[in-house]
Amino acid sequence: MKIIAIVFATFILSPHIFCQSNKKNQPDNTKPFVLGVITEMQSKILNEKRILNIYVPEGYNKEDTISYPVIYLLDGSADEDFIHVAGIVQFNNFPWIDRMPKSIVVGIANTDRKRDFTYPTTIEADKKRYPTTGKSENFISFIETELQPFIEQHYKTTSSKTIIGESLGGLLATEILYKKPSLFDKYIIISPSLWWDNGSLLNQSPKVLQENFMRQTEVYIGVGKEGLAPSDFPHVAEVDANLLADKLKSADKKNLNIYFDYLPLENHATIMHQAVFNAFRLLYPASKKE
């Protein structure tokens, strides 16, 4: 496993210092600000190398007996959602906050998110607009048979697994919930692009609702004031998210907890940070801490 220390000096430096090209003005005692590690792994299924950004909690020691839940973050590049989601996890782990168990965050950096996060569409216009789409089955197989075993081999993990996905990532997280629900026990689905293929996923029968699926599963669905989706057919993000929540709630399964969160002050671009914060508060109430 090739591991390179990940440096996020920009995380704590002010903009005017960041923009300076003259390093002579910097103190001699500066050193990198390290948030986690970058790991590179080869995927046979995807036929490419994938980059993982990994945050481990304070006190993590691979030599001791303590194991940790894992949060898998889609859109997990350093210039996407990894830094601020890892920060939310760290904040909730502070002893004076203590809202959720210390957790490992695995940010999956993108190569082609439209390819990886979408199932095949029947809409010809979308096939032309997005020619690489429709390979989510491969990506889900990558998560199940390569990524999760890789993390479990190299890190001290519990059986608790969370997935976080927003927009097309939310579509993928929903597809996993529908087709492979046992891959995760907590789903944080934010502004899911359920308009894809004219909303066909919503018309399918989720395996998570089948009588023989008994695993305890928690689902958070967050959506902002977002309006019409970018499709040729009229879809409103808030309506689709509501339909998803209502469908999952309709089964009234005791092993399935659904939390729907409407954030009218946020839109598709701004919702991620607030929704993740809200999701952690709902999924890890004080009485249910692991």
Distance between CA atoms of 77 and 100, rounded to whole angstroms? Answer: 23
Mean pLDDT computed over every residue of the chain: 90
77: amino acid identity, one letter: S
**Cβ proximity of 171 and 196 under 8 Å:** yes
b/e 47-71 (16+ beta carbons within 10 angstroms → b): eeebbbbbbbbeeeeeeeeeebbbb
pLDDT score recorded for residue 29: 83
CB-CB contact of 158 with 197 (8 Å): no
Residue 84's alpha-carbon distances to 21, 76, 89, 105, 153, in angstroms, are 26, 10, 9, 11, 26
The helix (H) or strand (E) run that includes residue 187 is: strand 186-190
Pick among 3.40.50.1820, 3.40.50.11290, 3.50.50.60, 3.40.50.261: CATH of 32-288: 3.40.50.1820
What is the pLDDT, as a whole number, of residue 131? Answer: 96
Q: How confident is the model at residue 290 (pLDDT cuts 50, 70, 90)?
A: very low
Of the pLDDT bands very low, low, confident and very high (cuts 50, 70, 90), residue 161 is very high
* pLDDT cut 90: percent of the chain above it: 81
pLDDT tens for residues 98-125? 999 999 999 999 999 999 999 999 999 9
Mean pLDDT calculated for residue range 49-68: 95
pLDDT category of residue 233 using cuts at 50, 70 and 90:
confident
Contacts for 25-33: CB closer than 8 Å, 24+ residues apart: 32/5, 32/7, 33/7, 33/8, 33/9
pLDDT by residue (tens digit) across 197-209? Answer: 999 999 999 999 9
What is the rounded CA–CA span in Å between residue 15 and residue 177? 41
- Supply the pLDDT for residue 195: 96
Q: What is the pLDDT of residue 234?
A: 85
Q: How far apart are CA 70 and CA 199, in angstroms?
A: 30
Which amino acid appears at position 181 of this protein?
P
